[in-house]
Amino acid sequence: MIAYVTVGVDDIARAERFYSAFLPALGYTLEKYHGDLSYALPVKPGQRGVHPEFYVKSPFNGEAATAGNGTMVAFEARNQGQVRDLHAAALAAGGSDAGQPGFRAAYGPRFFVCYLRDPQGNKIALFSSDPNEPGRDD
C-alpha cells in the first residue's frame, strides 16, 4: 500500500494556493508542519488513517525542486463535473493546463480525465470513472 506521495516545490505559498484550490473539494484537509504542507483524508476516531497522504515540501537537500519526467500523481473526483470544476479552480490558482478535461482514446471508455502542472511543474491528474455517467462511446 502506498502510504504517502511527496512532490518538491521551491515556493510553498504558490503550491498551497494551487493544491488548496482542489484537494479540499476531494476531502483532503491541510496541516502545515515545519513550513511544509501535508494533505490527508480525515480519520474517524478509532480508525486507521486513509492512505495515501500527499506532501508538498521543499527538497531536503536544499537544492532547487524539479518535476520528475514521467512522474504524475492522480486524484479521483466524484464525477465528470467535478473534474471540470477542479481543473478550472486549479488553473485559476496558478496551475497550467496539461490536458483539458475529457476522454482519451488510449484509456477505457469511462475514464474522464484532465491534466495539470502545478506552479513548480509537477504533473497532476484529476479523473472520474463513474459507471453511472455517460462514457466516451455512449
Q: What is the mean pLDDT of residues 25-29?
A: 96
Check: CB of residue 29 under 8 Å from CB of residue 78: no
- Reported as a single tens digit per residue, the pLDDT across 95-135 is 999 999 999 999 999 999 999 999 999 999 999 999 999 99
Q: Give the whole-angstrom CA distance, residue 74 versus residue 67.
A: 15
Question: What predicted TM-score, i.e. pTM, was given to this entire model?
Answer: 0.90
pLDDT (0 to 100) of residue 135: 95
Domains and CATH numbers, the chain: 4-128 (3.10.180.10)
Reported as a single tens digit per residue, the pLDDT across 60-90 is 899 999 988 889 999 999 999 999 999 999 9
Distance CA 128, CA 71 (A): 20
